[in-house]
Amino acid sequence: MKILVTGGAGFIGSHVVDRLVLEGHSVSVIDNLSTGKIENVNREAKFHKIDIISPRIERVFKKERPELICHFAAQMDVRRSVADPIYDAQSNIIGMLNLMENGLRYGVRKVIFASTGGAVYGEGVPYPTSEECIPRPISPYGISKLTGEHYLIYYNVSYGLNYVVLRYANVYGPRQDPFGEAGVVAIFNQKILRDEQPVINGNGMQTRDYVYVDDVVDAVIASTYNDINDVFNVGTGVETSVNELFRHLIEITGKSHIKEVHGQAKKGEQLRSCLSYDKIRKALDWEPRVPLREGLTRTIEFFRGRL
């Protein structure tokens, strides 16, 4: 199959590209390299350095003629979306519409869309949160991702374009950016291994559902080989506080001299997030396979190798 992966030089996207190439697909990658890295791109994939909001993206569709789009390119920082909601909307809404319109024009049959679990559902929902909960996003990032989901329904009803929406929990693993504002596992990893002091935002009691990147790739692959049009959570159903995460990392690295330090809470940060995966387990036979301690150990070894 001819597959286009947007954000294919980034953290999750590059792992997806690796798996798709391994399974024998013809893969093209779009990435503007604002956060992605060219060294992440599989050598067997065709790379196009371009932003998804650029009108020049039509040239890529005309040349590659993809049948499937795996859409990972996004502005994905909740706090940046609060500080600059216009930029967030340009990337996550206008950029997606640019892909959809070109996809219709050049024969795309299906889209797998990377959405967000915690930011879409908002606060005050049952935990673990199921897809039956009405989304009430409280950040521009969550709003823009939910808008993307609604556009996919529109394109399906109006043009027959198939889709799968994957609402991710907090994805972590090798290649995650340790220098950004998002991605606490990578940020803490880098600092701890360098004997620097990580700072926990607020009281550290805010919880997240941490899912390992290989499990996320499995969910994408499961979504590729079916005709289902639906929305699925991709998480573990387990809440872990930032304080607990920090202690796991200290224990695994053996850096007991690094103590727990707290800073100011960040505006726009959710207090809790945890996703039920019952629906995707029943529909696509997917479930998380990598426990948190094992995933953290693999991630630490990756960052150790880079240092």
Active-site amino acid positions: 141
Q: Are 52 and 29 in contact (CB under 8 A)?
A: no
b/e for 153-192, b at 16 or more Cβ within 10 A?
eebeeeeebbbbbbbbbbbbbbbbbbeeebbbbbbbbbbb
- Identify residue 3 by its one-letter amino acid code: I
Placement of tokens 């996207």 in the chain: 13
What are the tokens at 293?
């301690």
What are the tokens at 230?
């639906």
Bridge partners of 200?
262
Q: How many angstroms separate the CA atoms of 138 and 153, rounded?
A: 22
Q: Are 208 and 169 in contact (CB under 8 A)?
A: yes
- How far lies 219's CA from each of 115, 150, 170, 207, 286, in Å? 13, 21, 14, 23, 6
Q: What is the largest CA-CA distance in the chain?
A: 59
Q: Cβ of 56: how many Cβ atoms within 10 Å?
A: 9
